[in-house]
Structure 1
């Protein structure tokens, strides 16, 4: 904005019109006092000031304006129609004016001067803005530098208190700071410790430095005083500020005791592993010999037992028909021989469970249809009802699963209520996990199979006993059996990586529950797990 100061309106008006024609914003003042008030309130790029005015003349106004910080970049042009002498012109420049024009003023000259002075004012304002911005930037950088220096000092203080060797590296890879522990393994603060030749870190460190990622490596450092190499864990981390790498921080942590302990442990593990391999080989050999011994002993025991049974039957038929007391004693001997024969067969079957056999997909419906043919006589004699719901195809050892169902069905027929025919139901469903009470799932990885009867049942407090070999809940006089059948069933289910349990109450029947995987993790059973 341009300010015209003159006490005569007829002088102000033509100047104002001329400047406004050239698109200048113009303000006016009729006296020096009014001009000073306006300068205090507004910013002017150029002031056109008449020299001779009543009250304060132009020189006095110019001297007053010079004391205003707000008008320090404002240019003053003096106009005078009377005071044209050199001493007045000099006084005008001394008072702070940049030009002194005499009236009448050439309008074109005046406009050119105003344009030049306004442009100079605008440049000065831009320059001051830039200077303020630079000053602020310098202040910000100075504060940032001071803060950074404080952080570096804090970091170095922390590193100095660490029990490890600590150091910092500049972004270009030069050592910047080391703590006192550094000198145990390095000769100077500008050189790295002597690293064992087998632990070269250069390729790995260069790769991590280029990628600006963490670097970790076990190395052996040479102690300056003793010359011994000790294991250390080297770790170097990049430090960034606003995604710009500022430095690397690294540590060497002494792990020599842990390394020695680990090596000793590895040696002990290797020794123990070799011992276990020898023991395992010996155990396998002993197991094989035991299986052979069991087979031979059972065969040798069964042969004389068959002769005893045959001779007892012959004596009974030929010589003791009329002696009821002798027949009674002989029948007891025959029954004992039969129990012993059954016991030998069950023991032989139990001992052979450790032999590995292949798993294969098996349709349990076909397996049960074939198995139930063996029970036709008993089922018919006892008027039993056996129902089998559709069962899935599972990966099993057919002979072992057949043993399981054979024992469970046999028990259901054997331990039936004396006053009602046996009712046996076999059904199954897919489940979501290996658990007796798992939730049903159409595509679950396991299958739950239930063998349910209406027999005499048992108290569930004896649940843990029924799967233990030779454990019986009833006397031999009440129910026949060797006490091995359910133990065989459990061992077979374990071989299939499954579960077996039961739910029962006295005189309310029993539900035997099997959980088997649909697919086995290994196609060959692992005898070592037994």
Structure 2
């Protein structure tokens, strides 16, 4: 849009009609003060500014506009019938004008200049868009590189910890066998097995994320009993965490369609995290129900919780809650894998949490093949 500023109505009307006849969108102001108010409210590609005006001349208006960040890309053309001397033309350029035209005006020349300014404005706009996209891409690549380096560091540490423990327990096991202390040997063997299981879980997660990234994560979709799947997950984790009471609320005898092993993997991850991030507590609730051909499953703990700001990032790849990254081990990929599994089932995954009161992780998936396919489209 073009803003014409002139204190003489006849000049405004005549120039406005000419520009509108050439398909330009035009706005007008009859004083410098009115022009400044309009510049603050609207975006203009070009301002055609009369020099000789009462109260506030064109130079003062241009100098003021040049201080507006909103108008930093707006071009200014001065028009003057009186101030045609070189010193005034020079002052016009120093005041922020890109051109200074004296009257009488050759309308064809003015139109060519206006079209040129429009073309320059459009080119600058596109260049700015490209520059912003490039900056966003650079920022994304810096963050991605940082996350990758951080992940490699974390993964190296997490993998090394159980390996070091296994090595230590094997050495202790050897000494116990040399002393023929079978009880102690059995104890060391059990602890080494626990560490090997942790190592196996880490490797499985790494393999899963690799499959997700390459699009090779396979799903064995078939009908199965949802209740059996949930019960199996609870039974396994209850045995390995006897100090915790894992309560199941609700019953889901119906058959559902999906990958039983992958969905059980999600339930196990939810319960494992509920136990892990709730030190000092001993209760985890697993709620299930089926309604309107959708399975709802939620795992609630009464632990440390997650802040509102971090909840929307919790399913991102490699994300670890900063406050707890040094207190709890993990690669920051378990929940990301869970979200990918639920997405492949055409479902939704989420969390409700209050710091220091606990968290409830949940997912909702269709129970029929038709609904899964419909939600994946």
Normalised by the shorter chain, which TM-score bucket? 0.3 to 0.5
More RCO (CA 8 Å, sep 6+): 2
TM-score by length of 2: 0.45
Question: Bigger radius of gyration, 1 or 2?
Answer: 1
TM-score by length of 1: 0.33
